[in-house]
Amino acid sequence: MVAGAGPAGLSAAYELATKGRPVTVFEQDPTFVGGISRTVEYHGYRFDIGGHRFFSKSQEVEAFWRNMLGEDLITRQRSSRIFYGGKFYEYPLSLANTLKNLGPVESAACLLDYARAKAHPTPHPTNLEEWVVNQFGERLYRMFFKTYTEKVWGMDCREISADWAAQRIRGLNMGTAIREAAKKALGARRSGQIKTLIEEFRYPRLGPGMLWERVRDQIAAAGGDVVMDAKVVSLKTHNHRVQEVVVRDGTGRERSVRTDAFISSMPLRSLVRAIGPAATPALRDAGEGLHYRDFLTVVLMLDQPFASPDQWLYVHDPGVQVGRIQNFKNWSPEMVPHPNATCFGMEYFCFEGDGLWSMSDQELLALGERELHHIGLLPQARVIDGTVVRVPKAYPVYDDGYRDRVATLVAELARVAENVQVVGRNGMHRYNNQDHAMMTGFLAARNVMGGQHDLWAVNDDAEYLEVLREERAVPMPVGHAPSQSAL
């Protein structure tokens, strides 16, 4: 039995069903499969929860995508920018464009500031602000790090640990930034156009949901069940094994189903709550100590064929609350129902229950429209329609102590419910991409069929590093630096 029809849960179910094993997936959403990688349909428009680029170093995942999507997996030239101080900066940063936007005086000030930081660095940086200022100087930190990071995580950069910064943006400093920007400029001039993985990506022509709808259909064709509107609320254990799973539908009706094995992609904290009284105090404490960052998208439809060149725009500007803006038509033209329309997804990072989260949809749509005007993306267009999608637990938070909590959870779970395997993003409290979620799903399914795979040995690149198993007494997440594309 599997909890959750996101990439992890559906990959596990696909592996089981196509190997002739009985499998049932319970998904709490009444309509959409794909979890955070779903594609929402609204009045003929299609949009993602964030835009989902398809890229993996795992050959198995790549082969799976090719097999499922074939020609429907299209290649797009990447176009993304940063909006700050009323100006648009190419991203990844280009030297010429950055210098032009900053102007000679501000550029010189940034360089001076950088030289000052190099000459007098904070000796032992303890927080993100100190760490980044040491690498780039105060002015560049304020422009390209501070506001966006604070929007995404809802924390002052001085509250985020320097360790986390070192892992997250390792290898990046002023020297490499300038070298990369210069290489890009030179390469572009020499070869007319250089194509790297950063400059292009693949995307299903109808959005990632297209993939997950196909996977769902193939699970059903192979005899598996994907049950929608079925939230796993309670797990009954006996002899250290989960024996029954209680699911609840939208009307509150509950039913109980027996199981031999349980693969969970539901958030770890919810899993511990579902175990209820059988959970040890250590397990409960560790579960309650996990935190999440939530997310909402204000989707606005415009009566304009072209509204911006980007697929997405990072909004560093502190004058607006929006953190990032997707232009779904630039991901694939088929995401809008007719050529004269455009569809923006304005992404707001928030906490469940905070001011943004609690605003009515009408207020959020009005906020989105005002902020589009402020940024200058609505010069002649009219907003003709709009909707709001709220996504709880979009990001597992890596705060102080989360690693120990996850290690405790894994060790305790193995004692309390030995036939439970946790997979995927919130399932493992892992800030991952689809490919990692899928790989853990495949391996968990193989374990049910007799395999001996350590799911914690799947790294951020979705590679299964079995060798790491020998090195750890307690399974721990590996490769803690989340990749930029998972943002």
Candidates 6-14, 116-124, 326-334, 360-368: pick the segment binding ligand FAD (CB under 6 A). Answer: 6-14
For ligand FAD, the binding residues in 359-388 under the rule CB under 6 A are none
Name the 3-class secondary structure at 237: strand
Residue (131 or 395) nearer to ligand FAD, CB: 395
Residue (52 or 405) nearer to ligand FAD, CB: 52
Measured CA distances, 453 to 275, 415, 437, 443, 447 (Å): 24, 18, 15, 6, 6
Kindly state the smallest distance separating residue 23's Cβ from ligand FAD, in Å.
14
Residue (41 or 303) nearer to ligand FAD, CB: 41
∠ CA(135), CA(478), CA(168), 5° rounding?
20
Residue (5 or 388) nearer to ligand FAD, CB: 5
Cβ–Cβ < 8 Å for 371, 320:
yes
Contacts of 119 (CB under 8 A, 6+ apart): none
8 near ligand FAD, judged by CB under 6 A: yes
424 near ligand FAD, judged by CB under 6 A: yes
Provide DSSP, 368-419. Answer: HHHHHHHHT--SS--EEEEEEEEEEEEEE---TTHHHHHHHHHHHHHHH-TT
Given the structure tokens 């094994």, which residue do they identify? Answer: 241
β partners of residue 293: 395
Give, as one character, the DSSP assignment of residue 142.
Answer: I
Find, among 343, 337, 284, the residue nearest to 312 by Cα: 343
**Backbone angle region of 4, left / alpha / beta, with phi > 0 → left and psi within -120 to 50 → alpha:** left
Candidates 35-43, 65-73, 108-116, 372-380: pick the segment binding ligand FAD (CB under 6 A). Answer: 35-43
29 near ligand FAD, judged by CB under 6 A: yes
31 near ligand FAD, judged by CB under 6 A: no
Residues in the chain, total: 487
Residue (78 or 231) nearer to ligand FAD, CB: 231
Measured CA distances, 171 to 98, 166, 175, 178, 193 (Å): 21, 8, 10, 13, 26
Kindly state the smallest distance separating residue 182's Cβ from ligand FAD, in Å.
27
For ligand FAD, the binding residues in 41-100 under the rule CB under 6 A are 49-50, 52-53
Q: Which of 3, 132, 157, 343 binds ligand FAD (CB under 6 A)?
A: 3
First-to-last CA distance in the chain? Answer: 30
184 near ligand FAD, judged by CB under 6 A: no
Looking at 124-193, list the stretches that DSSP marks H as alpha helix, in order from N- to C-terminal side. Answer: 128-136, 138-141, 147-153, 162-168, 174-191
Residue (49 or 93) nearer to ligand FAD, CB: 49
- d(CA 420, CA 439) in angstroms, rounded, equals 17
For ligand FAD, the binding residues in 446-485 under the rule CB under 6 A are 485
Q: Which of 14, 24, 27, 345 binds ligand FAD (CB under 6 A)?
A: 27
Tokens of 459: 């790294």
Candidates 300-308, 432-440, 444-452, 462-470: pick the segment binding ligand FAD (CB under 6 A). Answer: 432-440
Candidates 182-190, 263-271, 315-323, 401-409: pick the segment binding ligand FAD (CB under 6 A). Answer: 263-271
Candidates 86-94, 173-181, 311-319, 431-439: pick the segment binding ligand FAD (CB under 6 A). Answer: 431-439
486 near ligand FAD, judged by CB under 6 A: yes
Residue (110 or 406) nearer to ligand FAD, CB: 406
40 near ligand FAD, judged by CB under 6 A: no
β partners of residue 385: 301
Residue (142 or 293) nearer to ligand FAD, CB: 293
Residue (95 or 437) nearer to ligand FAD, CB: 437
37 near ligand FAD, judged by CB under 6 A: yes
345 near ligand FAD, judged by CB under 6 A: no
∠ CA(106), CA(318), CA(165), 5° rounding?
80
Binding stretches for ligand FAD (CB under 6 A): 3-9, 26-29, 35-37, 49-50, 52-53, 231-232, 265-266, 270, 394, 424-427, 432-435, 437, 485-486
